[in-house]
Structures are given as C-alpha cells and as structure tokens.
Amino acid sequence: MEVRAAGLGMLRVVCLFAAFDAVWLLDSGMLFPRESPSREVKELNGLWDFRADDSTNRNQSFERAWYKKRLAETGPVIDMPVPASYNDITQDAALRDFIGWVWYEREVVVPARWIADEGTRVVLRVGSAHYFSIVWVNGVKVTQHAGGHLPFEVEIGSLIREDPTTPCRITIAVNNTLSLETLPPGKIQYMEDRTKYPEGFFVQYIYFDFFNYAGIHRPVLLYTTPKAYVDDITVVTDFLDNTGLVKYKVSVQGAATGTIKVTLKDKDGRSVASSSKPSGVLKVEDVNLWWPYLMHENPGYLYSMEVHLIATDGRSTYEDMYTLPVGIRSVAVTSTQFLINNKPFYFHGVNKHEDSDIRGKGFDWPLIVKDFNLLKWMGANSFRTSHYPYAEEILQMCDRHGIVVIDECPGVGIKDIRSFGNASLAHHLDVMDELVRRDKNHPSVVMWSVANEPASEMPPAEFYFETLIKHTKDLDPTRPVTYITDSNYARDKGAPFVDVICVNSYFSWYHDSGHLELIPLQLNNQFENWYGKYKKPIIQSEYGADAVPGLHSDPPVMFTEEYQNIVLQSYHSVFDQKRKQYVIGELIWNFADFMTVQGLTRVVGNKKGVFTRQRQPKRAAFILKERYWRLANETGRLGLSPSNHQCHAVKYPW
C-alpha cells in the first residue's frame, strides 16, 4: 500500500513538473519591488496635485494637453492622497460620483546617483489605478494601462537622464469609464429626454454590487535594478515523503552572459539547498511544509529564495540580488475533496472587499492588519478576493499567516451578451495573464476564479469559458480553476470546464423573502443538483443576509441581526450534512459592510457584513467564530479528538 502511495506521489510530481516547462508564457515578469543590496525603492505615496476634467465632453484636458505643463497651471488643483480612491475625500458629491478623466501630478526628487549611473534602471510602478491610466514623465507619454486592481510599470531612467537638471514631473491621468468590453463591464447612457435631463446628462450603468471607486488605489513607487537584472522567477513546489521539491526558473534581462546562484534559506537563514543553474529543482530535506492557519501548529512556513546574478552586457558587469519568499506545498482536487499537502482542506472563511470609510479602495496598512486580526479571531482559514485581485501586500500577509486564497479576477457583472464578444474575451485573457504573472508564486493562492456570476446560461458562455479556463490552465497547470456561479443558473454552460463548483445563493433573501423555513430544503436541493450533474466538489462561495447593526426583532424579520443569524445557522445545518460528502467549503457574504451605488435595496451600502464597515462585530460574527473554531478542531487535522485534546488543541486566542 505504501509503495503504491509513494509511486502515485512520484507520478504527481512528474506530471506537475512536466507541465511547468510548457507554461508561463508571458515574456516579462512583474516581481514585487523589494529592496536588496542591488535594488532601492522610493515610495511616492502622499499628496499629489489633482484635478478632474469636468468639461462637458470630458475631453478638454486632452484638447488642452494638461500633461505638457504643471497641472496647477492648467486650472485649480486640490490635494489628493495617494493611495486612496478620490471619491470620498472631499465634500463634493459631483466628485464622489464623477465619471471621466482625473489627473494626478507630482514632482519627484530622483537621487542624483540614480541619474548619474547609466548602469541603473529606474522603474516607475503603479500598484493599481482604476480603470484606464496614461502616464507622462516631464510631458512625455511613457505608458498606459487598461484595468484596475493590477500593477503596471515602465523604465524611465533614459528619459530623466536626457535633462538631469529638470525635476521629474509625473502626471497620471485615470479614467473610470467602464464599457461592455472592460472588466468589470459597464455602460454609459446619455439621457435624451430634455423634460427630465439637461443637455449632456449621462449615467454609467454597472452590473456589480460595489461602489465604482476610482483613482490611484495602491502605492506608486520608483525602484531601481541594475541594467542586467533578474526579471522574473517562477516556482512550483511539491514534496515526496520528507523531501520538499522546489522547481524554479529565473529569467534575466539585459545581459549577454552571466552566472546565477540560487540559494534557498530556512527561517533561521540557514542554506538548505542551492544551485548555479537558471532553472532546476531544489531538494529540501526534512522539509517544513507551508500549512494553512489552524491546520498545523506552525502555519505559513516560508523559505527565502535568494537569487544572485552576476552578468555582463559586453561592456560592464552588473550584480543583482532578489529574494523571493517560497512556501512548499501541494494542491489537488478530487471529485469530493480539496487537498492541501494531500490532506483534505475545508474552506471556512469569508468573502471580502477592499473597502473602507474615506479611503474607498485605497491601500491602507492599519485596515489590512486589523482585518487579518479579525480573520484570525474568527477562526477563518481562507477568503476569496471577491470581485477583483487584492493588493500584493495582502497576499504576502496570507502567505505569512497561512490564510488560503481563492484569487479572483475582475470578471464581475458579465451580464450583457455583448460582453461575451471577441474584444471582451481578448481583454479577459490579458487580465488573467497579468493576474497569474503577478500572483503565481504565492503559496496562499490555491485556486483561480475567472469570474463572478456571469450570465453563464447564455449561448456564447460555453465558448467563452472553455477558452478562458483552458487559457488559465495553460498559464498555470498547478492550480485548479473555477468561476463563481449563481445557483439560479441551472443551465450553466461553463460548469463542465471548472475543477470546483463555486455556487452563490441567497435563499429567503432575494427569493422567498422572509421564509427562513425554506432554506434547508432549497439548499439541500441546490447541492444535490450541482453535484448530481457535475460530480465535482462544491464550495458555497456566497450566502448571507443584510443586517443593520443594532436592529432587532424576535421573531426575526429581514434586516435585523436575528434574521441574519437564522439565515447563517440554517445554512450551517445543511453544510454540516454535506461536508461529509462533497461540500468543501463555506464563505460568508460578507466579511464587512461595504459601499455600493445608491439604490432602493441598499441603505448606505450593502449590510451583509458580519462586521460593520468600521470593523465592529455584529452578532453574526460571534456565531461564525464559534463555528469556525469548532470546524478547525474537527477538520483541521491537528490530531484533535477528545482523547488527545490536551496535547494539540487549537487554543482560542483570548
């Protein structure tokens, strides 16, 4: 038996590593900017000059070439913090709801040495800006990028060296207009009825349930590398018995010849494996595997892979160092289970948003750390990045704390048949390229989600999702792929292609409102139908109910905390039956209340959070906490049972 298991393990490793060579098709990397002996980072966060182009045709800024001079010379500017959404920073409702171009500008002092040293690359990087961005340096266009939530960068060293005496003026124009071909899709409609709307009045329709926050959402920075540099690193990991296997590939740019030294170090800085080849397999004896939070006493174990390059471009010699955190783990899916390191993993977690008061979707360390503390307090072991990629810093936290991630692209609200066309698909494939390129090395990321609740019953959905999912698997054959389906779409054309069925349902909320007693019947049927049809493991990827904090009623009525609690508990009783069969996870909608567009069903935003937007618990948070810690003890494989409870018990952290 053991011999057979070992043989199967070896087969898995061979298949996994064989697939590796055929993939990672992208031609350049997007390594997270890190300081090292050869690399410096200069953050450009803080106050930028800001001006919205509110001209009637929304185009005056281009007609008048605002990028050519200082923004303050084009008209009145205001202070705008970066990173932050601009929407909630002022008292101006017109700016909160603004659609069109906004302009950010800042002058930067570039260290003289960076300019003087021709062997230094100076890279300008924007962590994310929503949605379409154009960047100029000293009035010269240097790059543009379509899509929020993902980084883009450009080398500007040669440009700033042209005239080292001019200050480096960075101008970024950002446009939040969404079309049927963007991700997420949206639509602008001009209103023609002059008895109701003035000339030029338009609205942007969106098909998703969160505020369309805009602006520069994540850090902007300059960083340096030598002219010959480590451009990308890819790692795929597995293990056999006690030996960890790290298959890696380093790609280098700017060098004619060079030597590479790769050293894998453990947490104490001891070298555990090394190589002098640009690609290969590192073997780690007595490996410390990367385990999820609550599945092991020592979750989130990370090694450091130090890549040291010495290269020459024919004239000079350059030295570059980059250190990548590496977690060694495996992921696999069977028809009824999700396996991490060959052990069944049950997702007990949350869906989140990047969303908070004042900052909107702006990156904010205090908020991020608070959220992790709340996740761990609750006993959550996972979350889905609903409905778009989150900041890389958040994924790094997940790596370190062992929080498992379903990494979702911004394919939310694909509801119009025109959003299944070729242009949309091409953009969706590009976005998946960018997402996988950015997040491929995170051990916490265990599955890709290519969309949320698309109109997957429409005829074009079949080709669209077959292409999209196949492409994602070509990019990364090591992780399962899913998209999130709405339980109403009984005729789901994409489901045959996914590895895991993720299903959202809101019984007794959007249907049969007030009829809590129907939840067990309807949920049970939901699971049986999906499993019966596809024989794939299922995650309840959303469920929940709005609760206005402090609103009470017994017997429960909608929008009270009691109603939210009963919804959760009714779902939980069915999960408890089905998790013994093929249900592999439950993710509450939502971790915290979040802002939405104004509408009849939203009282200052979506209130399905188990925490308020200010991160205070509703009663439901305590229900989940009690449940998640219990699940951790039952499913976490810590060796817990009543008899050995003393030796390994997961302790409540209070």
Binding site for ligand BDP (CB under 6 A): 209, 387, 452-453, 504, 542, 589, 606, 608
Q: How far is CA 167 from CA 70, 109, 427, 536, in A?
A: 11, 7, 36, 58
Annotated catalytic residue, options 453, 542, 561, 586: 453
Question: Taking the complex as a whole, how short is the minimal distance between the CB of residue 397 and ligand BDP, in angstroms?
Answer: 23
Pick 478 or 564: Cβ nearer ligand BDP: 564
Pick 441 or 449: Cβ nearer ligand BDP: 449
Query: Is 434 an active-site residue?
Result: no
**Cα 221 to Cα 354: distance, rounded to the nearest angstrom:** 21
DSSP structural state of residue 296: S
Using CB positions, name the residue nearest to ligand BDP. 209
Question: Closest Cα to residue 98, out of 211, 198, 238?
Answer: 211
Pick 85 or 606: Cβ nearer ligand BDP: 606
Pick 244 or 605: Cβ nearer ligand BDP: 605
Question: Taking the complex as a whole, how short is the minimal distance between the CB of residue 506 and ligand BDP, in angstroms?
Answer: 6
Question: Closest Cα to residue 302, out of 476, 442, 479, 477?
Answer: 442
Pick 262 or 567: Cβ nearer ligand BDP: 567
Please say whether the beta carbons of 381 and 414 come within 8 A: no
Question: Closest Cα to residue 50, out of 21, 29, 71?
Answer: 71
Question: Taking the complex as a whole, how short is the minimal distance between the CB of residue 434 and ligand BDP, in angstroms?
Answer: 22
Pick 232 or 593: Cβ nearer ligand BDP: 593
> What is 320-334 written as a DSSP string?
EEEEEEE----EEE-
Tokens 């989940």 correspond to: 624
Please say whether the beta carbons of 478 and 472 come within 8 A: no
Question: Closest Cα to residue 29, out of 232, 226, 225, 227?
Answer: 232
> What is 534-586 written as a DSSP string?
H---EEEEE----B-TT---SS--TBSHHHHHHHHHHHHHHHHHHTTTTEEEE
Question: Closest Cα to residue 442, out of 393, 399, 472?
Answer: 399
Question: Taking the complex as a whole, how short is the minimal distance between the CB of residue 504 and ligand BDP, in angstroms?
Answer: 5
Question: Taking the complex as a whole, how short is the minimal distance between the CB of residue 621 and ligand BDP, in angstroms?
Answer: 17
Question: Taking the complex as a whole, how short is the minimal distance between the CB of residue 452 and ligand BDP, in angstroms?
Answer: 5
Pick 153 or 593: Cβ nearer ligand BDP: 593
**Cα 148 to Cα 334: distance, rounded to the nearest angstrom:** 34
Q: How far is CA 621 from CA 326, 350, 611, in A?
A: 33, 11, 7
Question: Taking the complex as a whole, how short is the minimal distance between the CB of residue 586 and ligand BDP, in angstroms?
Answer: 15
3-state secondary structure of 518: helix
Which residue numbers are catalytic?
453
